[in-house]
Chain A
Amino acid sequence: MIKNAVKEPDRAPLMARRPKWRFSWDKASPVLVLIPSLIALGIFVYGFIFWNGYISLTNWNSYIPNFSFAGLKNYAAVFETFRFQADIRNIIVFTALFILGCLSLGLFLAVLIDQKIRFESFFRSIFIFPMAISFVATGVIWSWVLNPQPNAGINLILRALGDSHPPTWFLSPIIIPSIGLGLIKVGIPLALVAVAIAAVWQMSGFAMAIYLAGLRAVPDEIKEAARIDGAGAWRLFWSVIYPQLKSSTVTAVIILTAASLKVFGLVYAMTGPGQDFTTDMPTLNMFDTTFQGSQFAEGAAIATILFLLMAAFSVPYLLSVLRGENREENS
């Protein structure tokens, strides 16, 4: 407000003197610099998404392109497959496990690290380093750690702790509670839990970093005031500090959901589609349908569904972030 009040008076006469529009390199340059990027993204993002959407409405389901109009036939066909129904169950279960795991572990570790500890950067680095590794390396590594043999990997430790029938991890065919719905059994496929463990190992450091930044932004005065009011550590955290972390949670959930919907290399390297598609994902299904099965239109339909899912939460999020930014600038 104050800024505007100072600026306004000297700007007004200047504007009045100027002609309405005059070409200036300084005004054109920022736009000119952006134009190549906008063209590239216009084609590669927006153009290609429309193109892909168009393909999903055609009969191109063999090696030879066929662009005759098919309506929503491919979508109907995809939804009727066992594999895609399993994908829907899997992506929901996986996203839930992955986000709950990352957020709870991330918040827990962030709070521990925020206690003015010694070797802080050392601990922080350890919890974040898996993010520097590729999803495929993570998949390969964790298929070794969670080796399904009863006498290998984590199972050796579980047996030493007295578990005589350790799980078969990502090879497990078990779904809990396994309720029949459509063609599939609905529940939590145990194999997917193994994949989620690897994914949480890789990405929980991200949630920790976001929460740590959020914790550092909580003003000390607020904590001090609550402490003076006699709030204990537990109460202080849940009633005073945690509500301040709401925007950190929202950011983390959005980014992690995006990562979850995109998950591909991890599953590809660790398990593939799995027995009865218990670890399959829409991303893998699209890849196989399109490039192994040459069902291009059906692959495009799966991709479009995936895109719409992603857009449904990312567009509102981006709009709200940019709007919030505008508000800050104008105030």
Chain B
Amino acid sequence: MALRQLNRSLLYVVLIIFAGLYLMPVYLVVTTSLKSGASINLAQMWDLPTQFSFSSLAASWQKLGPNFLNSVYLTVPATILSALIGAANGYSLSKWKFKGANAVFFLILMGMFIPYQAVLIPVLRVLDTIGLYGTIPGLILVNVVYGIPITTLIFRNYYAAIPDEMIEAAKIDGAGYWGIFRRIILPLSAAGFVVAGIWQFTQIWNNFLFAVAITVPPHQPVTVAVVNIAGSQTIQWNVQMASALMASIPTLVVYIFLGKYFVRGLLAGSVKG
């Protein structure tokens, strides 16, 4: 019994050590962001700030504020669009299985596994041709299209859990494809939209490759701004950390409040469902 007690305590000690390790970068980022430029000193980088200063956060907001807003204009519509498309696709693929539905699903899913470098040159050529190169709408288009596989997957697995008997009963009552969607599927879809929405929000907000390849100033999203600030030799660490912190806040807030759904998206994204 005493051994069991000891083991339990050891378990918690190990867990707390690891939690500390995972949070260590957060500690450094937050404390560095709250120090003023003058008080930044490598040898004291682990110390708590002697006095809180918001000058670093203010300085970084001045640099990346516009990019932050660009990310909002990009992420909100792109997330909504890709969730809606995913819902319609997932409904078709799970509740109206037609001949070849699985082959279609496979072809859609493959889109998740491509390295985007393999499509980048054509993407830029096409966006240039249709006049969307360098713009946020161009970036929205690309993020929506390449988001279709994952949102389709999330909704297909989500709708698969709705009993087929409900659909059959509605069919007997004379409801058709859209009638069933409106009256049965949509009212049950809230959690599915939260899962797909959070997932896409996080992915699109955090995306860097498309952002840096497709947009030009002043339309660049926040991830590009963070890299530009970090790459500049003249900008101090405290401003760099403040920018990284600022760029991470939206997705972290979503994670803190809706983490359960984020993890569901994570597991759904691993295909097994």
A: which residues have CB within 8 A of B? 25-27, 29-31, 33-34, 36-38, 40-41, 44-49, 51-52, 55, 109, 112-113, 115, 117, 123-137, 139-145, 147, 149, 151-153, 156-157, 201, 206, 209-210, 213, 247, 251-252, 255, 258, 261-262, 264-265, 268-269, 282-283, 286-287, 290-291, 296, 299-300, 302-304, 306-307, 310-311, 314-315, 317-319, 321-322, 325-326
Contact = CB atoms under 8 A, between A and B. Distances in A.
Contact of B266 (A141, A206, A311, A322): A206
Contacts of A265: 208-209, 223, 227
Given A30-B91, A144-B241, 19 more contacts: A30-B101, A41-B107, A51-B121, A55-B122, A109-B18, A112-B11, A117-B11, A123-B15, A132-B251, A132-B252, A134-B247, A206-B266, A262-B116, A287-B117, A300-B121, A303-B120, A310-B113, A318-B109, A318-B271
A45 B116 CA distance: 9
B121 A140 contact: no
Contact of B118 (A136, A258, A307): A307
B2 to A, nearest CB: 17
B42 interface: yes
Interface in B230-273: 230, 237, 240-241, 243-244, 247-248, 251-252, 254-256, 259, 262-263, 266-267, 269-272
Given A38-B108, A115-B11, A322-B106, A131 B266 contact: yes
A41 B267 contact: no
A300 to B, nearest CB: 6
A261 B115 contact: yes
B255 A129 contact: yes
B262 to A, nearest CB: 7
Contacts of A206: 266
Nearest to B105: A322
Nearest to B94: A30
Given A30-B177, A268-B208, A307 B240 contact: no
B22 A37 contact: no
Interface string B1-33: 000000000011011001100111100110010
Contact of B119 (A36, A44, A213, A322): A44
A290 B120 contact: yes
Pairs of residues from A and B, 10 with the lowest C-beta to C-beta distance, nearest first: A134-B206, A30-B92, A265-B208, A30-B96, A314-B113, A152-B42, A29-B177, A307-B118, A132-B255, A48-B119
A29 B178 contact: yes
